[in-house]
A and B are shown apart, each in its own frame.
Chain A
């Protein structure tokens, strides 16, 4: 990657925000590089949504320092709103507007002239593939189509930073793949993207790096290729027609637990080891009917994260 001279997409030091007694974001330090897709991963309640609200200039931090595209959301709210496209996990639409009117409405909200807003709205409708729905009321859209419309809305003003809060939740696999393509296309055009989710596999495929959050704090930043989980032993689920024959021939040290249906959960060092094991089982006459990986990369790293006691 070429040397970046521009601002990081997000920079924070000691950023905190509480709701009553709950510290949603707790002395958070993050450096999120620009022009990348950064996954924000953590369990529910880790503070992902709160962090994104602060970055979108909607929620004030209690303390700490934060810069979004180089601006302080507290003092330069207008500049932050101009630089950031925010797509919340839950958002409403105006029922009586058509998809095109909806985007034009937000174009006007970003000070586009009505001509510019109209052009931009049609452009975005085409980008997210909703051409057939531009003149139809928003409420006829499916969940996946609504998500795409929401994504288009976040892009109306050509933001430099996209904040996507759980964009893939509730989408079918096909819609997720489409969303992933759209997000990657924005990254390729130079937009920084922060995307939160607990649908880990989905983020692993689209992201360049990942920030793990737990209890309001950042507990790790990793390039996707260098995840701690990628060198780890992986778990597999193996099931055979005869459970006893299977158990007898599996290396005892590898068995983590036995499932109720007789399937064994085993931990193996690598895919090569897994391939050898299945070949050996078949050679020995065990009728293997199922062998599936239980967690890979990001997910394994996430599970590992949860096991680590927090300082």
Chain B
């Protein structure tokens, strides 16, 4: 088992290309982080002239880095595992492994682990930049740890999707394509699907009253449709990262989190500010929330419930499904073979 993982890793690391790709990866991350820092610093200094305090350099750098690393991993990680099984079939080495005392789950786990560890090396390469961000202040330890745990989990999901593709599809070019389509569907396709699903969502009309008048408002009932957003790794990342402060600052993770959580709001936060009072909900007219709180939309009321537990559960289900398929295809003696497929 350990020998299998060691041999897999040895083969990966002996390749020169792998190291070159890692260097390019680090260079891109360094460049992006430096640019974000310069931009945030410039903006913060500009704001300070007018007494503003919205832009904070540390959270801006860290949040952008985290989202950028996730995006780059979606581009790199599927390829780490998307030919792991079918390329061995093609080379005629898989059947030899299957004829030994290795059980299918050991082979599958070794394939997963070696790809996953490789992905973690890429992730680890971003840690120095995360520390640089944190040194600017405003990034909590718990937040940083949770963000990295979620990033590692996303890498695991991408590896599992690639591995399933490599076991189900005979040709390596097609399985790589399929792995990218699966990852793209999850990261970009599902939010698009969510947007489209709102077109068919029911509308409701609410009458709102305030001291001295009333008006009606039509809004979309999102209902269950937020579930479509939940498994998106970007959504899970932003949603699960704990908030650092009650004040709303220029943290892209917080901005995204606020956006996705609004999909679970029972009613839209219509905020009307008038002479120091605010009307937030039907039936609460006259009392309102103090004006100071309204300046910070996050503080104005309780946040809607999170999406990430559902998202993680769906992701875990996907990983389970991938594992089931991979094991089914690795099982010997093999019962059914796809047309043209050979055992050896």
Q: Which residues of A contact B (CB under 8 A)?
A: 19-20, 53-54, 56-61, 73-74, 77-78, 81-82, 84, 86, 88, 90-94, 96-97, 101, 104-106, 108-111, 114, 153, 157
| Interchain residue pairs with CB less than 8 A apart (14) | A20-B339, A57-B332, A59-B333, A78-B101, A81-B101, A88-B92, A88-B95, A88-B96, A90-B344, A91-B93, A94-B93, A97-B11, A105-B3, A109-B3
Contact with A along B13-35 (1 / 0, CB 8 A): 01100000000000000000000
Complex: how many Å from CA A111 to CA B100?
A: 9
B14 touches A60 (CB 8 A): no
A50 smallest CB distance to B (angstroms): 9
Closest to A91 in B: B92
A96 touches B10 (CB 8 A): yes
Q: Which residues of B contact A108 (CB under 8 A)?
A: 2-4
18 further A-B pairs in the complex, CB-CB below 8 A; given A88-B96, A96-B10 = A53-B344, A58-B95, A58-B343, A59-B334, A74-B333, A78-B103, A86-B96, A88-B92, A88-B344, A91-B93, A91-B95, A91-B344, A93-B93, A105-B4, A109-B4, A109-B100, A110-B100, A157-B100
Main secondary structure of the interface of B (DSSP, over half): loop
Residue B54 CB within 8 A of the other chain: no
| A58 touching B98 in the complex, CB below 8 Å, given contacts A91-B344, A96-B14 | yes
B101 smallest CB distance to A (angstroms): 5
B99 touches A84 (CB 8 A): yes
A302 smallest CB distance to B (angstroms): 25
Closest to B88 in A: A92
Among B4, B102, B335, contact of A60 (Cβ-Cβ < 8 Å)? B335
Closest to A50 in B: B343
Closest to B11 in A: A96
Q: Which residues of B contact A (CB under 8 A)?
A: 2-4, 7, 10-11, 14-15, 88, 91-93, 95-103, 332-335, 337, 339, 343-344
Q: Which residues of B contact A74 (CB under 8 A)?
A: 333
A258 smallest CB distance to B (angstroms): 44
| A19 touching B337 in the complex, CB below 8 Å, given contacts A58-B95, A58-B332, A88-B92 | yes
B343 touches A53 (CB 8 A): yes
Among B7, B15, B98, B344, contact of A94 (Cβ-Cβ < 8 Å)? B7
Q: Which residues of B contact A84 (CB under 8 A)?
A: 99
Q: Which residues of A contact B2 (CB under 8 A)?
A: 108
Q: Which residues of B contact A91 (CB under 8 A)?
A: 92-93, 95-96, 344
Closest to A106 in B: B100
B1 smallest CB distance to A (angstroms): 8
Closest to A20 in B: B339
Q: Which residues of B contact A106 (CB under 8 A)?
A: 96, 100
**Top-9 shortest CB links A-B:** A108-B3, A92-B91, A109-B100, A92-B92, A60-B333, A92-B93, A88-B344, A60-B335, A96-B14
A60 touches B10 (CB 8 A): no
A250 smallest CB distance to B (angstroms): 50
Closest to A73 in B: B333
Q: Which residues of A contact B101 (CB under 8 A)?
A: 78, 81-82, 109-111, 157
Among B15, B332, B343, contact of A77 (Cβ-Cβ < 8 Å)? B332
Complex: how many Å from CA A106 to CA B98?
A: 11
B327 smallest CB distance to A (angstroms): 14
A100 smallest CB distance to B (angstroms): 13
A184 smallest CB distance to B (angstroms): 23
B93 touches A58 (CB 8 A): no
Q: Which residues of A contact B10 (CB under 8 A)?
A: 96-97
